[in-house]
Chain A
Amino acid sequence: MCELLKILQEMHPEVDYATHQALVDEKVLDSFDIITLVAEINDRMDIAIPAEELIPENFNSYASLLALVEKLEEEQ
């Protein structure tokens, strides 16, 4: 699952994803990033994030995004 971390690090190399808990609330990730993330996760990991999962809670930390991706991977 390090591919996800790689995608995030390519977007913002300066962010410490291990500890950051408010990526959306503190505007680290903006709308361009979210669109890129969804597209990259789709292209590189072959996982489609459905619209109802596009909520701030799922994107605020690496851990929550990882949990989402793992859940979707099992389902899809």
Chain B
Amino acid sequence: MKNVLEYLEHTVTHSAGKPAFIDGDGDVNFGQLYHKSRAIGTYLCSHGMRKQPIVVFMKKSTAMITAFLGVAYGGNFYVPLDAEMPAFRIQLILKTTAPPLIICDETTQELISLWGLDIETQLYTDLCQHHVSDEDLACVRLHTTDIDPLYVVFTSGSTGTPKGVVASHQSVIDYIENLSPVLKAGPDTVFGMQSPLYLDACLKEIFPTLKYGATTYIIPPSLFMFPVKLIEYLNMHGINTICWVASALGLVAGLGALEKAVPHTLRTIAFTSEVLPAKHFNKWRELVPDARFVHFYGPTEATGVATFYVADRFFDDGEAIPIGQPFSNTDIVLLDDNNATPAANQPGEICIRGACLSLGYYKDPIKTQAVFVQNPLSCFPDTIYKTGDIGYRDDNGVLYFISRRDHQIKHMGYRIELAEIEYIAARHQSIELACAVFDQDKSRIVLYYTTRSLVDMADIKAYLKATLPRYMMPYAIFALDTLPLTPGGKFDRVGLLNKYKEGR
């Protein structure tokens, strides 16, 4: 197997009429998915677009997933953008990618015309009407290898510009083949998708659905505000498999929703992307005792997630749930400061090797070379990805996450560089210096800043709201006369965090 589209091509032969993806507006079955994505693919390759970044800028929907596959059929790679991202960020990403085409829906096409960008746009609905050329699509496939990119997703960058992680068909196939048995996915799997479509997190549902002819419900994001309604939604649709960010599970448990309604159809409950407190995990396990719980860990650079742990016991308050063991065909190497393997229970940087590794950062060889490096333990060419996460193996070889080595945080499931928030804040004409800190206990980002000219705090807030994605928006901002520094001349983040926790 060398192309992810083979999953769909196999499934459509036996399950064409079965719903593949369902959102609030309706569903798309495998037959429709196959036809529409091939129509889009034919349009792209017959208009000279091959191995190009094609931006898919749409509302979270079944149509957006269809467009991803269409881009792949045309021999290109998709760059997903969300209709709710701030305009400033979207334009930065468009500038970096320089796509020949943006696939839109009506709402996003209007936005783009307002910005006056000189990039061709096409409506998704129009592209689906294009004729299908078997010959053109076969020609594209003939010239595609499994190391060709499938997508570029953008993640927070510490220099203020988002980084585009490029993943190949090979790394996605490797991921799906080794993830699926852990999820126990099969034809009767019904996924309830929480993750946004502009991150690699959504691969977990999309590709096992295509592989097995399963079904994915795209859960309306607003339901995550109202947890009892969310559980009723899971029950109503017979959803049996969820892979959510830990904060979503934590929210449902923390607000007391499980005592009011039990999600009785769930068989597999996976959580990822940040630490799930033991008390919330225990509540889930107690109130949904028949489900299997799986903890996932892994960075976007290693395509989706890289390790898993089947959490089949209760945990003590404050006890960490392990990140477990790598997937089959993935290897985790721990490296200490001397590039040696630390002893059991001793910390080291978590490094990943295997076919799961992405190709690197789009148009950024310098950043790529900084973290995709030669394995110092190997005498042959052997690339590892240095995650920047610190972890250890216990006496039984089970992996645990300890912390980050830099100022990257996880907030509501999103990976955020605090430096990106600081960079954006400091772009405001009245802000001189800005330092962002994260209160882990309350899950709040707080920004301290100094000013060079008189400015109203409300103006700063409005500016940040307009330029930062919602999940990066500081919960509170404070103006100071000076920002405290450490003896080394860096921002005293610990001091500022304590200042905040003590009430300014």
Interface residues of A (CB under 8 A from B): 13-14, 24, 27, 29-32, 34-36, 38-39, 50-52, 54-56, 59
Check A54 against B226 for contact (C-beta < 8 Å).
yes
Across the interface, which residues of A come within 8 angstroms of B51, CB to CB? none
Check A13 against B224 for contact (C-beta < 8 Å).
no
Check A30 against B225 for contact (C-beta < 8 Å).
yes
Interface residues of B (CB under 8 A from A): 221-222, 224-229, 251, 255-257, 259-260, 412, 442, 458, 461-462, 470-471, 473, 475
Across the interface, which residues of B come within 8 angstroms of A39, CB to CB? 442
Closest Cβ of chain B to A64, distance in Å, is 14
Check A24 against B225 for contact (C-beta < 8 Å).
yes
A53: nearest residue on chain B (CB-CB)?
A: B228
Cα of A36 to Cα of B439 in the assembled complex, Å = 14
Contact of A32 among B222, B256, B257, B412 (CB under 8 A): B412
Do A51 and B257 form a contact, CB below 8 Å, given A31-B221, A36-B475?
yes
Chain B interface SS verdict (over half) = helix
Across the interface, which residues of A come within 8 angstroms of B257, CB to CB? 51, 54
Across the interface, which residues of A come within 8 angstroms of B259, CB to CB? 51
Check A51 against B260 for contact (C-beta < 8 Å).
yes
Contact of B458 among A13, A27, A30, A38 (CB under 8 A): A13
Cα of A7 to Cα of B395 in the assembled complex, Å = 49
Contact of A52 among B228, B251, B458, B461 (CB under 8 A): B228
Cα of A29 to Cα of B257 in the assembled complex, Å = 20
Check A32 against B255 for contact (C-beta < 8 Å).
no
Do A51 and B224 form a contact, CB below 8 Å, given A32-B412, A39-B442?
no
A14: nearest residue on chain B (CB-CB)?
A: B462
Closest Cβ of chain B to A53, distance in Å, is 9
8 A-B pairs, CB-CB below 8 angstroms?
A: A24-B225, A30-B225, A31-B221, A31-B222, A32-B473, A35-B225, A36-B475, A51-B256
A30: nearest residue on chain B (CB-CB)?
A: B470
Do A38 and B260 form a contact, CB below 8 Å, given A55-B229, A56-B226?
no
Cα of A75 to Cα of B225 in the assembled complex, Å = 24
Cα of A66 to Cα of B269 in the assembled complex, Å = 36
Across the interface, which residues of A come within 8 angstroms of B251, CB to CB? 35
Interface contacts (Cβ under 8 Å), in number, total: 48
B257: nearest residue on chain A (CB-CB)?
A: A51
Cα of A32 to Cα of B468 in the assembled complex, Å = 14
Cα of A46 to Cα of B264 in the assembled complex, Å = 32
Cα of A49 to Cα of B336 in the assembled complex, Å = 47
Do A55 and B226 form a contact, CB below 8 Å, given A13-B458, A39-B442?
yes
Cα of A30 to Cα of B412 in the assembled complex, Å = 13
A43: nearest residue on chain B (CB-CB)?
A: B442
Across the interface, which residues of B come within 8 angstroms of A52, CB to CB? 228, 260
Check B470 against A13 for contact (C-beta < 8 Å).
no
Kindly list 19 other residue pairs between chains A and B, CB separation below 8 angstroms, not including A13-B461, A24-B225, A52-B260: A14-B462, A27-B222, A31-B225, A32-B412, A32-B470, A32-B471, A35-B251, A36-B475, A38-B255, A39-B442, A50-B260, A51-B227, A51-B228, A54-B225, A54-B226, A54-B255, A55-B229, A56-B222, A59-B225
Residue among B224, B255, B259, B458 with max Cβ neighbours from chain A (10 Å): B255
Contact of B222 among A13, A14, A24, A35 (CB under 8 A): A24
Across the interface, which residues of A come within 8 angstroms of B222, CB to CB? 24, 27, 31, 56
Cα of A16 to Cα of B57 in the assembled complex, Å = 32
Cα of A49 to Cα of B225 in the assembled complex, Å = 13
Closest Cβ of chain A to B355, distance in Å, is 36
Check B256 against A50 for contact (C-beta < 8 Å).
yes
A50: nearest residue on chain B (CB-CB)?
A: B256
Across the interface, which residues of A come within 8 angstroms of B471, CB to CB? 32
Cα of A56 to Cα of B223 in the assembled complex, Å = 9
Cα of A52 to Cα of B231 in the assembled complex, Å = 11
Which 9 pairs between the two chains have the least Cβ-Cβ distance? A51-B257, A34-B225, A51-B256, A31-B225, A51-B260, A51-B255, A31-B224, A54-B226, A52-B260
Cα of A29 to Cα of B226 in the assembled complex, Å = 12
Cα of A34 to Cα of B223 in the assembled complex, Å = 11
Across the interface, which residues of B come within 8 angstroms of A36, CB to CB? 475
